[in-house]
């Protein structure tokens, strides 16, 4: 079942180590089929290189396994919580990408000091509070912050933890996760040299609006 979505989710998972967003088997991507509401998730502890589309477990929004023999990613409950409470979102990525996570370790959002950031999100990349792992707390905090910014920034840092990025498709969520890490790295380097110069909020918003209407083959800036 859901062969195409399994291929797409498997592909997106394999991009995580290639793009330097994860180490070993950490990090994951999942995607929801909008029609059935079923979700393709990452199998737990499987090496990205060895992952095959047919290995990807299919679960419902309550985490019941509908298809697959592999154990489901331990992060699946958080992703399912996010999908359940953000119906416009169909893909969730979680990483501990190092530069973005270093801001998370400080509990700091990332200010808009680069046009790349303004283009992509137009607002600071927000940082949520500390949330206990293992229950619904991480999902709750991620959803609270993503709703607060109306999903204009489709990614949130979680204090002392890492990054959650969302999209309509795994590819769009992946782009958000990549841009977050790219921006975090450059802002880090700038901060080592001095005080980065903020882009005024109205200019950051203008950059965002232009990018999302002009960049790419269709509106959305590639984050859909």
Decide whether 17 or 53 has the Cβ nearer to Zn ion. 17
Residue 83 tokens read as: 């999908």
Strand order in the sheet with 65-67: 65-67, 58-59, 39-40, 28-32, 91-95, 162-167, 155-158, 127-128
Stretch that binds Zn ion, among 38-46, 64-72, 154-162, 183-191 (CB under 5 A): 154-162
Stretch that binds Zn ion, among 50-58, 62-70, 160-168, 182-190 (CB under 5 A): 160-168
Stretch that binds Zn ion, among 47-55, 56-64, 155-163, 213-221 (CB under 5 A): 155-163
Decide whether 68 or 162 has the Cβ nearer to Zn ion. 162
Decide whether 132 or 193 has the Cβ nearer to Zn ion. 132
144-149 contacts, C-beta under 8 A, 24 or more apart: 146/82, 146/86, 147/86, 149/123
Q: How far is the CB of 203 from Zn ion (least distance, A)?
A: 34
Q: How far is the CB of 74 from Zn ion (least distance, A)?
A: 9
Stretch that binds Zn ion, among 11-19, 51-59, 157-165, 193-201 (CB under 5 A): 157-165
Q: How far is the CB of 72 from Zn ion (least distance, A)?
A: 15
Buried b (16+ CB within 10 A) or exposed e, 17-55: beeebbeebbbbbbbbbeeeebbbbbbeebebeebebee
The SS3 call for residue 155 is: strand
Q: How many residues bind Zn ion (CB under 5 A)?
A: 1
For the beta carbon of residue 219, count every other beta carbon within 10 angstroms. Answer: 10
Decide whether 96 or 144 has the Cβ nearer to Zn ion. 96
Residues that bind Zn ion (CB under 5 A): 162
């Amino acid at each position: 079942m859901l062969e195409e979505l399994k291929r797409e989710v498997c592909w997106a998972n394999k991009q995580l180590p290639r793009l330097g967003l994860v180490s070993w088997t950490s990090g994951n991507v999942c995607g929801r089929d909008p029609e059935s509401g079923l979700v393709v998730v990452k199998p737990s502890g499987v090496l990205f290189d060895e992952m095959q589309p047919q290995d990807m477990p299919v679960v419902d929004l309550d985490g019941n396994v509908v298809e697959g023999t592999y154990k489901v990613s331990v992060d699946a409950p958080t992703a399912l919580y996010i999908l359940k409470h953000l119906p416009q979102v169909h893909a969730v990525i979680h990483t501990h990408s190092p530069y973005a996570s270093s801001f998370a370790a400080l509990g700091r959002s990332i200010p808009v000091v680069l046009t790349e950031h303004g283009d992509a999100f137009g607002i600071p990349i927000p940082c949520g509070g500390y949330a206990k792992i293992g229950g619904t707390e991480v999902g709750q905090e991620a959803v609270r912050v993503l709703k607060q910014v109306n999903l204009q920034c489709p990614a949130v840092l979680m204090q002392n933890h890492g990054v959650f990025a969302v999209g309509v498709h795994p590819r769009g969520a992946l782009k958000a996760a990549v841009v977050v890490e790219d921006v975090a790295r450059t802002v880090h380097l700038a901060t080592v040299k001095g005080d980065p110069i903020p882009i005024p909020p109205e200019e950051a918003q203008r950059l965002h609006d232009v990018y999302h209407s002009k960049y790419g083959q269709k509106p959305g800036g590639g984050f859909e």
